[in-house]
Amino acid sequence: MCGRFSFDIDYEEVKTRYPSHNITPMNSIFNFAPSMKLPVLTTNNVIDINWGLIPQWVKDKSFRPLINARSETLLEKPSFKNLVDSRRCIILSNGFYEWDTKSKSPYFIQPTKSNIMAFGGLFDIDNEGIYSFTIITTEANEKLSKIHHRMPLIIIEGDDENWLSESRYRDIEHLAKPLDNHQVKMKEISTLVNSTKNNNSEIQNKVNRLF
């Protein structure tokens, strides 16, 4: 799954990669968590959206927001199947955090050749006009599977336009796959990341263990 990530991006690189989107500078958030709001790229716009999807049809105020959506079941789940064709989005980051399922140690996963890690997601608008998004996940690639069995869907440069297009999901479904091993790097980091109260680059420092 993807439950925490870093938003510390190079705006010059972002403007070059997404020239048709009006992206303005925003303060870095090193420990971005569910319920927080972030500028998200849709087909033609950049919209401030809360992390944690609440489908438009939900009436129950106790509904638990959906932070992730499994790529394998997007076309089956009521919360997602009506969004995959018309409400795809891209969530910008520079890497995400994952905790080893066995040791519980935190890791920071980053792209190897860019300062941008673009997550594929879906968004919706509730009856009160509030936007919310979810991050799509895939099976982990071989490198990440050493610590966890899932990873976010990462859209590589060149596929952004297709993902944000109004094409049917069936036509771009091949993009929903794990990122290749060589395109990500990972390092064990400080447990400071465990608390969202810690929001600075220090939480991304590599841990040097003595053996």
For the chain, the structural domain boundaries read 5-202
Predicted structure pTM score: 0.96
Residue 16 has pLDDT above 90, yes or no: yes
Residue 209, pLDDT score:
63
pLDDT value at position 25? 87
pLDDT at 60: 80
CATH topology of domain 5-202: hypothetical protein yedk fold (3.90.1680)
Q: What is the pLDDT of residue 128?
A: 86
Buried b (16+ CB within 10 A) or exposed e, 137-159: bbebbebbeebbebbbbbbbeeb
Residues of the chain above pLDDT 70, percent: 99
d(CA 61, CA 56): 12
Q: Is residue 178 scored above 80 in pLDDT?
A: yes
Helical H segments across the chain, by residue range? 11-17, 160-164, 169-172
Partners of 6 in the β-ladder = 95
Write out pLDDT tens, residues 66-106. 999 999 999 999 999 999 999 999 999 999 999 999 999 99
CA geometry: angle at 102 spanning 97 and 105, to 5°? Answer: 40
pLDDT given for residue 13 in this prediction:
92
Tokens of 171: 């036509």
Per-residue pLDDT tens digits for 102-124? 999 999 999 998 899 999 999 99
Residues labelled catalytic: 2, 98
Sign of CA dihedral 134, 91, 202, 204: positive
pLDDT the model gives residue 46 = 96
| Band of residue 211 on the pLDDT scale cut at 50, 70, 90 | very low
